[in-house]
Amino acid sequence: MRRIFAVMAVVTVLSGCIKEKQTGADLKVGDRLPDFEVVMDDGTLVTDEILSESVSVVMFFHTSCPDCQQVLPQIQRVYDEYAPKGIRIVLISREDTEESIESFWQEKGLKMPYSAQNDRKIYEKFAATRIPRVYVNEKGGIIRYVFTDDPNPSYDEICTALENVIR
């Protein structure tokens, strides 16, 4: 009996990124980006209106989430390839501190700008549960692809989605 409880406790802890209380929106393909505004760590202001001017990618993450840790290097590769082409790639934390993100970025060699959010206010405009969340959006702010951790998106999948939206 103790072994069962121990296994259940471990499963509960490890599924922290997945099983959560549903409290917010659940945007899907065809929805418009919600009204939002964030300031990136480089001082750049990003809003839904600004993102509507071009194709964009919005990712929500937390540095302690194992799935996010796997996806963030893929997003760095996407950023390196597509940001120079004018694609806006915006990373927004969900309940993560500036210090934690900065440390993780240094450790992993990430160079993308991010917006540290210590709460879920922005995240809940997009989703109720699950991170990472990656939204690929067409010009005009319409969501064309949504990726979550079921399964984690690969670099190739995100690039294919972007190429489909760019065309």
Q: What is the pLDDT of residues 10-21, one digit of tens each?
A: 444 444 454 343
Alpha carbon 100 to its chain's center: 16
Average pLDDT for the chain: 89
Cβ within 8 Å of residue 131, ≥6 positions away? 17, 60, 61, 62, 65, 67, 68, 94, 123, 148, 149
Q: Is residue 52 one of the residues assigned to a domain? A: yes
Q: Is residue 141 one of the residues assigned to a domain? A: yes
Tokens 């806006």 found at: 88
Q: Is residue 121 one of the residues assigned to a domain? A: yes
Q: Is residue 5 one of the residues assigned to a domain? A: no
pLDDT at 74 over 90: yes
**pLDDT at res. 25:** 78
Q: Is residue 10 one of the residues assigned to a domain? A: no
Q: Is residue 124 one of the residues assigned to a domain? A: yes
Quote the percentage of the chain above a pLDDT of 70. 86
CATH code, 90: 3.40.30.10
Q: What is the pLDDT of residues 26-54, one digit of tens each?
A: 999 999 999 999 999 999 999 999 999 99
Q: Is residue 3 one of the residues assigned to a domain? A: no
Q: Is residue 71 one of the residues assigned to a domain? A: yes
* DSSP secondary structure of 97-109: -HHHHHHHHHHHT
Per-residue tokens: 163: 């190429």
Its domain, for residue 63, covers 20-166
What's the domain count of the chain?
1
